[in-house]
A and B are shown apart, each in its own frame.
Chain A
Amino acid sequence: MPVANVIQLRALLSEKFPGLRQHLNSTSKAQNPRFPIPKNSKPGILNLELIKGALMEIVGKNSGSATLLRELLYRAAKENQIVALIDGSDSFDVTQIAEDVLSRVLWIRCHQAGDALKAADLVLRDGNLPLVLLDLKSNSEKELRKIPATTWYRFQRLVEETNAVCVVFTPRQMISSAQKRITVRSHFSIADLECDTGELLHQLEMEISDERRFEDISEPATA
């Protein structure tokens, strides 16, 4: 059967090349729901799955969210994906990132949460970028309180249409429509500044909850 052959070929390709985008079935979340994960990845942050067509929230206050953001950029670069980083308070430190990674990043520097949301709206409507990171972690509480909840529902609809992944970094839980929420609860000491990056990533404590199913699916994951 030719159909069976095609399915076998796709299975073989996805096994051999986990980073490969398979556009033919990308609309079906049930069949190919996740952003590709490296085959030999270790537990913890490296197993963090990004759901295509989903709005995700990463909550954390000085607990490793910027490190997590940086790791997502590296992972996207490994898979040759283009990333939009909407920086709500112009706090992204580019000097820590390799140039190879930066070459795949569209950095949008904002100074207010309102501007960041407008920029996110434009980028999500564009539909060209598979991963959109919106960093509101450093924006003031006053600005964040002004964001209406309907904004997130609108973003969720946009993301579903474009099959992109939108990850929002927030200082507190504020996106009720998020399909997945990750709370980062790590605490670092000054000695951790001398740790190896991989070692540090395994120290990240994350609580992952899947809002769609209204139940916790993972316990704090540490390496």
Chain B
Amino acid sequence: MFAAVFIPDCSLQAALRLEPDSGKQPVALIDSGLPKIGIVQLTTIARNFGIVEGMTPGQAMARCGHLKIKIRSSTQEKSAMQILLQTAYAFSPNIEATALGVCTMELKGLGLENENAIQNWAEKILKTLAQFHLESKIGIAPAPELALLAAHGTNAISIVQNANQFVSGLPVAALHPPMDILEILSCWGIQTIGQFLALGKNEIAERLGEEALELFERVSASSVRPLKLVSPPEEFFEQIEFENEIETAGPLLFVLRRFVEQLSRRLEAIYLVVAEVRFQLGLSSGEKYRRAFKIPSPTGGVEILFRTLQTHLETVRTDSPIVSLELSAIPARAQTHQFGFFESTLRNPNQFAETLARLTALLGAENVGTPQLISSNQPDSFRLAMTDFDSATIQNPKLRTQNCALALRRFRPPLPAHFGFRGEKPVLIRSKIFTGGVSEARGPFLSSGNWWDNNRWAREEWDIETTDGSLLRIFRSGDGDFVEGIYD
């Protein structure tokens, strides 16, 4: 048995998928790629206004003033087709991308033994596709072509048990034969496929040629063509080109949420979660704004993914308005984490990542992170790295690598000062934090470095106790005298 999943008016449904409410309004789709721009697909409500395929947008608007015109988008069709194949693959390993909006599946080996089981299985497929705002039909028959013919019927699910009985009543036009053959058959008085098959294979080949023979093979229950098996694409992306330029975050967030919902559901259908989100804004100037967000703990949670993007978007300022948006997801298997007795990892890494993003937005990336020491003798040498507490578990802590007694509170940058000396010892200091005498001093401690390049530095350093009891670290370099910090 074979099943054909068919999305009627696939191009229109692909265009309206992100605006599910538009399906209940008069909407018509035009193809800007055609030499004569005309309506190619339309909603039932639009049809009720007397609009038909082939009309120009002007003619259609004359019949319905509030008709919404949409332009056919190959990207959105591609997304819809990806969804169809990915959904189908979750239900059968043998699938074929038959045509735009049509996927044929083989039921062999799925354990669907009776009609009830097949009915339930087909309902699940329709339900999954409905989550992506794709209305579809399924035909199930002993041959792929018959399954597709059944899918074109009026019922959402059509199961063909007796192939001959099913095809005999169908009009010949359902096979979409060439016009000349259709005319000949019409002249012969052959209206249904049953009458056509009754002519016999050899007679049809002899009198009507190869094209008619092909038609015969298509509807013959005895000939089953093998499927051209495909694997579902591992791309998960959503894209939209806005009709009007976007200048504020509001409408963008609205669409973005829809995208996140769709991508999350697509991955959920194949038991995956989002590990990374790639985000691209097309600007009216032609430039692209791209950003990738790695999700610390891969998840399918719409709220978490959306908040990550929203937090970033709140800080984005573009030079020109936004004309398109593309969002793609990199999938991964859901991670399970066993918390250990002795480790203290983050309970909610995604929440923490969002907090870090907010802190970065508040203070700048150069002010938030985990400090790392730089191998240099130059004072106050460090860099701030991205936090990665998962890999920072201390297995065998050797904590005090330096025997430093009192902690220093640094002034960044060091405070300019002026020192008075008696011999090699500073005896007076004039600075913003203290002006007065020095009661005791240790030093000078000489240090220098980078003499081999342009960043050469050299300094004389003293630890001093001032007359008011404060302990300061001061130094003199080529740039002058400075207070480096206060011991506390």
Contacts and interface: CB of A to CB of B under 8 A. Distances in A.
Chains A and B belong together in one complex: yes
B408 A66 contact: yes
B471 A188 contact: yes
A93 B373 CA distance: 11
Nearest to B376: A95
A210 interface: no
Given A107-B369, A107-B384, A108-B368, A69 B407 contact: yes
B351 interface: yes
Interface in B451-488: 463-465, 469-471, 485-488
Interface in B324-366: 341-344, 346-349, 351-352, 355-356, 358-359, 362-363, 366
B247 interface: no
A58 to B, nearest CB: 11
B48 interface: no
B406 interface: yes
Contacts of B407: 66-67, 69-70, 93, 96
B442 interface: yes
Contact of B405 (A95, A122, A196): A196
A200 interface: yes
A31 interface: no
Given A63-B488, A109-B363, A94 B406 contact: no
A60 B407 CA distance: 14
A80 B355 CA distance: 21
A130 B343 CA distance: 13
Given A122-B355, A187-B469, A193 B405 contact: yes
Contacts of A195: 405
A96 B402 contact: yes
A192 B406 contact: yes
B222 interface: no
A103 B394 contact: yes
Interface in B390-423: 392-394, 397-412
Nearest to A119: B359
Interface in B413-445: 440-442
Contacts of B398: 98, 100
A62 B485 contact: no
A27 interface: no
Contacts of B22: none
Contacts of A130: 344
Interface in A89-115: 90-110, 115
Contacts of B400: 74, 98, 197
Contact of A105 (B348, B370, B487): B370
A53 interface: no
A19 B342 contact: yes
Q: For B398, B407, B463, which residue has the most chain A Cβ atoms within 10 angstroms?
A: B407
Q: Does more than half of chain B's interface fall in helix, strand or loop, or is it mixed?
A: mixed
Nearest to A123: B355
A200 B399 contact: no
B242 interface: no
Interface in A10-64: 13, 17, 19-21, 60, 62-64
Interface in A133-174: 137-138
B384 A95 contact: no
B403 A100 contact: no
Contacts, number: 187
A5 interface: no
Contacts of B392: 103-104
Nearest to B340: A80
Contact of A196 (B346, B403, B440): B403
B399 A98 contact: yes
A197 B406 CA distance: 7
Interface string A192-207: 1111110010000000
A179 interface: no
A126 B393 CA distance: 21
B399 A64 contact: no
Given A93-B407, A110-B363, A82 B373 contact: no
B471 A81 contact: no
A118 B362 contact: yes
Nearest to B345: A82
Given A102-B371, A188-B471, A119 B344 contact: no
Contact of B369 (A93, A106, A200): A106
B342 A188 contact: no
A138 B488 CA distance: 11
Which 8 pairs across A and B sit closest by C-beta, in order of nearness?
A66-B488, A66-B407, A103-B392, A126-B355, A109-B367, A98-B401, A190-B465, A94-B371
Interface of B: 341-344, 346-349, 351-352, 355-356, 358-359, 362-363, 366-373, 379-382, 384, 387, 389, 392-394, 397-412, 440-442, 463-465, 469-471, 485-488
23 contacts: A62-B486, A64-B406, A67-B405, A70-B407, A74-B399, A77-B394, A82-B344, A93-B409, A94-B373, A95-B382, A97-B371, A101-B399, A103-B370, A104-B389, A106-B370, A106-B387, A109-B368, A122-B359, A128-B346, A128-B347, A137-B409, A190-B463, A192-B405
Given A17-B342, A62-B471, A103-B392, 7 more contacts: A74-B400, A80-B344, A98-B399, A108-B359, A123-B355, A192-B405, A200-B405
